[in-house]
Amino acid sequence: MSDGLLEAFRHNAWANRELLAVCKNLTDEQLAASATGTYGSVLSTLQHILDAEASYRERISEEAPNWAEKVEEVTDLDELQSYARDMERYWEDLLGSGFDPDRVLRWYSPYRQANVEAPVSVLTAQTLNHGNEHRSQVCTVLTTIGVEPPELDVWSYATATSRIRTEPGPPPA
């Protein structure tokens, strides 16, 4: 499998972990905060990120994680972190297995109220886009309530995981 795709999913997992770690320090009132233009409260958005990943996992593997039915009711961020770690392992295993990105999946989407057909590659792309979108929304809410959000961009991930190296000095000639 492409190391680039694996790197993208490692960033996704790292960003989920980082955001959950920051949110563990929030009060119940802060976890219930939301802002105009976002999905909902901080807590409901974190739940939604993991619920969606579980849904994509189920479509791809035809097997939902054992926690999928209750994720939107879980308020313990340690438990949500364990779900995020489970998803991280799943994506690592899937991407390392040489899966077929062109395999066509079919499902009913209540959101679209339609039958949907798409290759696995669309679901993997959606997983990354969806996570980035909603983590950004949580960071917006954090900013509005006066909490410094974590830096979740790929450069921050690369720095935190030693995937980038910098040297002071002028640009190379």
SS3 state of residue 72: helix
Indicate the pTM of the whole model: 0.93
Q: What is the dihedral of CA 117, 4, 10, 89, to 10 degrees?
A: 60
* Residue 103 structure tokens: 């395999």
CA distance 42 to 32: 6
Q: What is the pLDDT of residues 21-64, one digit of tens each?
A: 999 999 999 999 999 999 999 999 999 999 999 999 999 999 99
* Residues 115-139: tens digit of each pLDDT: 999 999 999 999 999 999 999 999 9
> Right CATH number for 3-160 from 3.40.640.10, 3.40.50.10440, 1.20.120.450, 3.40.50.1820?
1.20.120.450
